Amino acid sequence: KNQVEQSPQSLIILEGKNCTLQCNYTVSPFSNLRWYKQDTGRGPVSLTIMTFSENTKSNGRYTATLDADTKQSSLHITASQLSDSASYICVVSATPHSTLTFGKGTMLLVSP
74/47 Cα distance (integer angstroms) = 13
**DSSP per-residue letters across 76-107:** EE-S--GGG-EEEEEEEEETTT--EEE---EE
Ramachandran area for residue 83 (φ above 0: left; ψ -120 to 50: alpha; else beta): alpha
**Is residue 32 a contact residue for another protein (CB under 8 A)?**
yes
Q: Is 95 in the site for another protein (CB under 8 A)?
A: yes
The size of the interface with another protein (CB under 8 A), counted in residues, is 25
Looking at residue 82, the DSSP 8-state letter turns out to be G
Q: Which of 17, 20, 61, 104 binds another protein (CB under 8 A)?
A: 104
34 is an interface residue for another protein by CB under 8 A: yes
> Binder to another protein among 42, 61, 81, 111 (CB under 8 A)?
42
Residues at the contact surface with another protein, assessed by CB under 8 A: 4, 31-32, 34, 41-46, 49, 51, 89, 93-96, 98-105
